[in-house]
Amino acid sequence: MRVFFVNQFALRPTDRGSLRHFFLARFLVENGYQAEVVTSDIHYNSRERLQWVSSSESHSGVMFRVIRGIGYKGQLSRLCNHLQCAIKAFFYLLRSVSSNDVVVGSSPQPFLAYSAYLAARVKRARFFYEVRDLWPQTLIDLGGLTRSHPLVRCMFFIERVLASKSEKIIVLMPLAEKYFAAIHGISSSKVVWIGQGVDCSAQVGRSVGRKPVGSYAEIVYAGSIGSANCISSLLEIAGELQGLAVPVHFSIYGEGPERAGLELKAAQLRLKNLDFMGALSRNSVLGKIAEADFAIALAHSSPLYQFGISFNKLFDYFLAARPVIFIGDVAKNPVAEARAGVVVSETSSKAVALAIKDFVAQSPEYLQDLGENGLRFLKANHDHKVTGQKLLDIISSR
């Protein structure tokens, strides 16, 4: 039996970013399965074209197959790229999948997941729907579109088909079963939560301790720089802290379409306590997180987050055992569940700045305990062997 993971933005272990599908596929290979990841050659975050020596590569027994697509910058060319990849993947899967195989269609964009379902149906293979993002609802809650918009209606149709026709729905948001029950009438027994998997055996350089008294506290953000990541709010918070003369410094690691505009805004605000550091390899950025005093994540105020979150950056923060500052109000917050930091649900930048001022003044022993709590939570719930076993259980259940 072969298991095909179809995700446009799945990455090889040599790439920079989340390795969810590599870890899942490798676990299956270690347990006697064959596994293949069907992906594209455009990085989801930087939008740069990734280099491939051929159309297929093997990494630790996992076969990666690349679907080459057009580059994109704007929304129209992005949509064209998504549709092109979906069509190419459909014909590749028709040639490759047999009735004994399993197809996991993932939805960082819904069209590719739909083409994976169609190919699986034609070949009479088993199909599992992995929900990375609640795309129609995301466009409504964060994108400002209405339910009557043609794109939203199209995505709701695709989501309804995939949810109803799949053998199981794999979700990353811990409360997503409520969404599928309310919107599509899907029984909670069909929905399986398999969170982000992390290699907890990775060696991460630990911080040697707090900086000398009188020095600043280093706060790291490591992740995408886009409209969904609230970096504009972070700049305003940094401005408030600068005005209060709180000795903190923010280092922002990552790339994204909003970076240039945010750097201009930081210059206009005359921020001396914040720098954009660019993107680094995962091992390098983990080292930077571990060397910092704190790590920070932010979330919009949105009804979308009533179903929980799956922020990759949080798992990197936990792995580096850093106390986390989380700004936002989300259900089943991992930082709160792990007791790994402080959750600030205030909306004004001044109130958030005051909360950060109080938090960074906590004792080193207390902050170290928070970091260790996050690491323990990660090992218990998100080690890649834990998530891999969950997937293996549902695949082998028939």
Please answer whether residues 15 and 7 qualify as being in contact, where contact means their C-beta atoms are separated by less than 8 angstroms.
no
* Planar angle of CA 18, 20, 22, nearest 5 degrees: 105
pTM score of the predicted model? 0.90
Cα–Cα distance for residue pair 62/10, rounded to 1 Å = 12
Which residue do the tokens 């293949």 mark? 36
pLDDT higher than threshold 70 for residue 214: no
Tokens standing for residue 203: 């060696």
* Domains of the chain as residue ranges with CATH: 2-197+383-395 (3.40.50.2000), 217-380 (3.40.50.2000)
Structure tokens at 156: 């709701």
Give the H or E element holding residue 338: helix 334-338
Provide mean pLDDT across the span 250-263: 94
pLDDT single digits (tens) 103-131: 999 998 899 999 999 999 999 999 999 99
* Residue in 393, 388, 390, 389 with CA at minimum distance from that of residue 25: 388
Percent of the chain with pLDDT over 70: 97
166 has a pLDDT exceeding 80:
yes
pLDDT tens for residues 331-376? 999 999 999 999 999 889 999 999 999 999 999 999 999 999 999 9
| Least confident stretch, 64-68, 135-139, 157-161, 351-355 | 135-139
Give the pLDDT of residue 205.
63
In the predicted model, is pLDDT for residue 210 greater than 50?
no
Query: Coil, helix or strand for 386?
Result: helix
Q: Hey, what's the torsion of the CAs at 141, 146, 147, 150, to 10 degrees?
A: -120
Q: Which residues pair with 298 in a beta bridge?
A: 327
- Bridge partners of 205, per DSSP, are none
Query: DSSP per residue over 129-166, as a string?
Result: EEES--HHHHHHHTT---TTSHHHHHHHHHHHHHHHHS
Q: What is the mean pLDDT of the chain?
A: 93
Q: Are 149 and 283 in contact (CB under 8 A)?
A: no
CA 245 – CA 49 distance, rounded (Å): 42
**What are 52-106's pLDDT values in tens digits?**
989 999 999 999 999 998 888 888 898 999 999 999 999 999 999 999 999 999 9
Q: Which of the four pLDDT bands, split at 50, 70 and 90, describes residue 212?
A: very low
Q: Given pLDDT bands bounded at 50, 70 and 90, which one contains residue 398?
A: confident
